[in-house]
Structure 1
């Protein structure tokens, strides 16, 4: 049995009272610090600090960098300007998802691609196999630590920690590189995976501890808590943000998963485009929908969904919503049953419970008052 990988921040939180770490895709990561409900509420009301240093960072350089990324991703990289980031996906020729990722344009010939931890090796091999001669690809994952500061007080905490005004003024999906923070030179982006305002902070691995301590010291008086994978999952679920391996996979296309906005079928050819065009023209066979249980129970991943005697799909993610206190799920179902208000059943321990297709996202943050 191979030893679990650990992030540069592991020594800081491993001995904290109440922390519980689990094997997450080969990484020894905290699932909770003080409790999932408490950490979830902190992010919704105040702020939470996540160690997501297990994510992968690839550096793409060269005159052909943009052209290469256009070829292997679904979104339109040519629309990016320096200091701008973009959510996108990589697809195989059949339209299945290789991974979803963020692409950062650092300059015209330098980009950073941030991929899911469980897919680092697969993604690097996939991209390398399609790399042209005028672009270079480097796996820089071990050089970086990544902290996610999320919640309505995130900007206030960064300001107290010493972030410069240009960082605090960033709009969504924009970033600043080479910005000083707690003695480190950081790349700070206004991005996240919780449905709240927030920042993702990339720093050299050796400086991760200093940045963590500075943010916690600045944020604790404002309600900041360290948060683990459990709250990260419930937060992203309420905001209907997909998780690779559940809402996205090599057998689920971006169109079926409801992230077609990030698939630009009108741009030049990209891997998977032909299959996705055919699927759109023919009509989607399946759609990802939100469901709410009417009967008492909690839907979980892979629970089958029925309409009458017909199995029409399965739950991809489900839980008792910590914010809304309702039993909710995301389910991939036959398109004929995807309309809001459709009555379905979820099979839980050999018993079918009534449910209804409902609107998503389940939670959407209110805009700040000016």
Structure 2
């Protein structure tokens, strides 16, 4: 969403990023830091120490009231009413035909209070769609995106960095859990969630407190090797971790079953949900294409939109959805949709890189899994 003048919105941390020398890009109606120096160095810092991200462009939608859980059960493919207080769950909102409108994280803050986090590019669609699906339930739906700033500390040192700034027992906070407390003296919600494949935390605070919280996290993290990190390395981190991106792996033309995310769909909900019949049929029929990982044999990286080819015939059999050089694997990697018959790990395919055919092998996702 842009401003009324058509210019991209700025997060409360824009001046902080500029002072740090960030390069900016327009993303989903926001002007966001894409990198501060070397995106590869930022990527590696997150894998070995920690990175600090500004994610304020994400959207927050709050549901309150006795019927909030039931309303979300109707709106989403999962069963949010079964989420325990202080816990979170990954979910999706789908259209009647089963196509994915957005993928979401749902937090239950209290018995009658849920926080739904949507992608920046979709919140303007998701918020009214949830509100429409909540009609008839005793629930209030509010797009509270403007009320929140969102910072993320990701990496193996993140727990130690954050623990010194809050009274919360950070090391004991469970994965996909959230607690209210303070960070650097500011009221905040702290969640052990992220989009990098590393241990990490997301800190929700008021926009007016964002700069102070960022500064405190950066100062606390410097002895541990923390660096500010932009959207470019966030993309390569999530790609290595096999995490889908809306607009690439997830679209209105894709159902959760093609994306290997059928596990988030609760087809047995007796109350039903929007898209249930279409998704049940797709599960029964089986997906026509599935998401796979590819590791290229050469030095050039497959990119989104590049055709995937059958090496025997040269026929186009699929399409790359995301691709980049992997700083961790030091190989070009990609995700792509291909027919189920070609999705077995070890299958040799080819990618058309601007007319040149490059060998690529199917591998299991994710490409990278952190040591536990």
How high is the TM-score relative to the length of structure 1? 0.96
Equivalent in 321, 326, 329 of residue 331 of structure 2:
326
Matched, 1:144 2:148: yes
* 2:352 corresponding residue in structure 1: 347
Please give the alpha-carbon distance, in whole angstroms, between the structure 2 residues aligned to 1:287 and 1:175.
33
Please give the alpha-carbon distance, in whole angstroms, between the structure 2 residues aligned to 1:288 and 1:265.
21
Superposition map of 1:38-57 within 5 A: 38-57=41-60
Please give the alpha-carbon distance, in whole angstroms, between the structure 2 residues aligned to 1:123 and 1:211.
29
Deviation at 1:15, TM superposition (A): 2.7
**Does the CA contact (< 8 Å) of 2:307 and 2:316 recur in 1?**
yes
Please give the alpha-carbon distance, in whole angstroms, between the structure 2 residues aligned to 1:344 and 1:43.
31
Please give the alpha-carbon distance, in whole angstroms, between the structure 2 residues aligned to 1:22 and 1:74.
33
Secondary structure class of the residue paired with 2:337: strand
Change (3 A) 1:23 1:270: same
Equivalent in 231, 234, 244 of residue 232 of structure 1:
234
Matched, 1:76 2:74: no
Please give the alpha-carbon distance, in whole angstroms, between the structure 2 residues aligned to 1:276 and 1:339.
24
* 2:117 corresponding residue in structure 1: 114
Deviation at 1:128, TM superposition (A): 2.0
**Does the CA contact (< 8 Å) of 1:301 and 1:316 recur in 2?**
yes
Equivalent in 189, 194, 197 of residue 199 of structure 2:
197
Matched, 1:154 2:158: yes
Secondary structure class of the residue paired with 2:19: coil
Deviation at 1:297, TM superposition (A): 2.0
How many positions carry a matched residue from both structures?
A: 364
Matched, 1:365 2:366: no
Please give the alpha-carbon distance, in whole angstroms, between the structure 2 residues aligned to 1:75 and 1:128.
17
Deviation at 1:165, TM superposition (A): 4.1
Deviation at 1:65, TM superposition (A): 0.5
Equivalent in 18, 35, 38 of residue 35 of structure 1:
38
Secondary structure class of the residue paired with 1:255: coil
Secondary structure class of the residue paired with 2:277: helix
Secondary structure class of the residue paired with 1:324: coil
**Does the CA contact (< 8 Å) of 1:292 and 1:327 recur in 2?**
yes
Please give the alpha-carbon distance, in whole angstroms, between the structure 1 residues aligned to 2:299 and 2:152.
35
Superposition map of 1:1-370 within 5 A: 2-17=6-21, 19-133=22-136, 134-160=138-164, 162-177=165-180, 179-268=181-270, 269-307=272-310, 308-367=313-372
Deviation at 1:79, TM superposition (A): 2.3
Q: 118-127 or 50-59: which moved more?
A: 118-127
Deviation at 1:354, TM superposition (A): 1.3
Deviation at 1:282, TM superposition (A): 1.0
Please give the alpha-carbon distance, in whole angstroms, between the structure 2 residues aligned to 1:137 and 1:167.
30
**Does the CA contact (< 8 Å) of 1:167 and 1:176 recur in 2?**
no
Please give the alpha-carbon distance, in whole angstroms, between the structure 2 residues aligned to 1:304 and 1:258.
20
Q: 311-320 or 125-134: which moved more?
A: 125-134
Please give the alpha-carbon distance, in whole angstroms, between the structure 2 residues aligned to 1:184 and 1:359.
42
**Does the CA contact (< 8 Å) of 2:299 and 2:331 recur in 1?**
no
> Over the residues paired in the alignment, what is the CA RMSD in angstroms?
1.1
Please give the alpha-carbon distance, in whole angstroms, between the structure 1 residues aligned to 2:8 and 2:200.
29
Structure 1: stretches of 5+ with no match in the other structure: none
Secondary structure class of the residue paired with 1:354: strand
Deviation at 1:132, TM superposition (A): 1.8
**Does the CA contact (< 8 Å) of 1:158 and 1:168 recur in 2?**
no
**Does the CA contact (< 8 Å) of 1:150 and 1:197 recur in 2?**
yes
Deviation at 1:310, TM superposition (A): 2.3
